[in-house]
Amino acid sequence: MKQKVLLLVHKEFVPKEEKIQENQRHQFNFMTEYDVLQALKDLKYDVNVFGLDNNLNELKEKIEEFKPHIVFNLMEGFDGLSILDHNVVSFLELLKIPYTGCSPRGLMIARDKALAKKIMTYHRLPTPKFFVFPKNKKMKRPKNLTFPLIVKCLREESSTGISQASIVHNDEKLQERIEFINRSLADDALVEEFIPGKEYYVGLYGNYQIKALPVWELKFEKSTEPSKEIYSARAKYNMKYRKEKGITSEKAQLPSELTNKIQQICKRTYKALHLNGYARLDLRVTDDGKVYILEANPNPNLESDDEFALSAQNLKLSYKKLIKKILTLGFTWSSYEH
């Protein structure tokens, strides 16, 4: 008997069932969901896709009807709010249904970047100095927070609100950017010291024993000052801008000592933030080899040509094997033991 997998996605990202050609991929916004669905089919699971909007009762009814052995969770929020992503997983736990990816605890911690950074600081994990400027409250820059600084959303992801204007060099520009985050994006502003250097990613997976994937480097090959570049929303999604800057990513060519140092720091961070399943850590490394963890991303993008999957392939872990591994980790995780 085939194992049943319920592929849980956002309602607007329900993928097409029919085959999509490689040159058509850029036309669709559900390629992660599509790639996971195709992999599950190739692995011979009995797969059913459910698009969730804002009604958990519908999800409960679907689970009662289909009776899945596990839910493959691709939700990144609920009812249009990214900060509610952990509530969906909590609901699955209350229904006693195994699921893939991170637990509610890890999702909640990582979503609040300031909380995550406080935990990292407590565990002596290297992360830039920071301060939070809440909405509707006037606050002054602490003296130990020196320019240049970078201003981000406290809880949003996918580079929301990040542009070159996010890097500020004086109090006037700092206040302008804080107000932009507070008013235009309705979020608290996280202000941290800007670390010049190269940007890297490290994918990790595991519940109790953690495996670090190869260090992946973000490159700005046509930039005159690559150490000052940031992975803004424009750098991620604007193809013209990506070509102008020569933005690519590939396995980092680093001395083995530095590679080991980065991977060990990332494993410690994964544990400290109560992550499980799989995650990606974003970091910067200065020219003299100092490592700084920027943020943790539980349940990162699983598109077959994204950094997480590509770095797994570099370890001879094919996309189908990666999806199978994520399912296995979901079956073997229990929040009740933690």
Q: Where are the domains of the chain?
A: 4-99, 129-193, 196-337
> What is the pLDDT, as a whole number, of residue 313?
94
Specify the range with the lowest mean pLDDT, choosing from 19-33, 144-158, 215-229: 215-229
CA angle, 311 then 314 then 315, to 5°: 105
Q: If DSSP codes are grouped into helix, strand and coil, which group holds residue 70? A: strand
- Decide which of 335 and 94 is more confident: 94
> What is the pLDDT, as a whole number, of residue 174?
93
Fold of 196-337: D-amino Acid Aminotransferase; Chain A, domain 1 (3.30.470)
Q: If DSSP codes are grouped into helix, strand and coil, which group holds residue 10? A: strand
Written out in words, the top-level CATH class of the domain with range 129-193 is alpha beta
Is residue 243 scored above 60 in pLDDT?
Answer: yes
Q: What does the alpha-carbon distance between residue 70 and residue 96 come to, in Å, rounded to a whole number?
A: 10
Q: Which of 266, 285, 185, 170 is nearest to 227 (CA)?
A: 285
Read off the pLDDT band of 220 (50, 70, 90).
Answer: confident
pLDDT digits (tens, 9 = 90+) for 289-328: 999 999 999 999 999 999 999 999 998 999 999 999 999 9
Is residue 338 scored above 60 in pLDDT?
Answer: no
H helices present in 224-255, as ranges: 233-237, 239-245
Tokens of 219: 């490159």
Which residues contact residue 238 at a Cβ distance below 8 angstroms, ignoring those fewer than 6 apart?
Answer: none
Which residues contact residue 231 at a Cβ distance below 8 angstroms, ignoring those fewer than 6 apart?
Answer: 159, 162, 199, 218, 282
Q: What does the alpha-carbon distance between residue 14 and residue 51 come to, in Å, rounded to a whole number?
A: 6
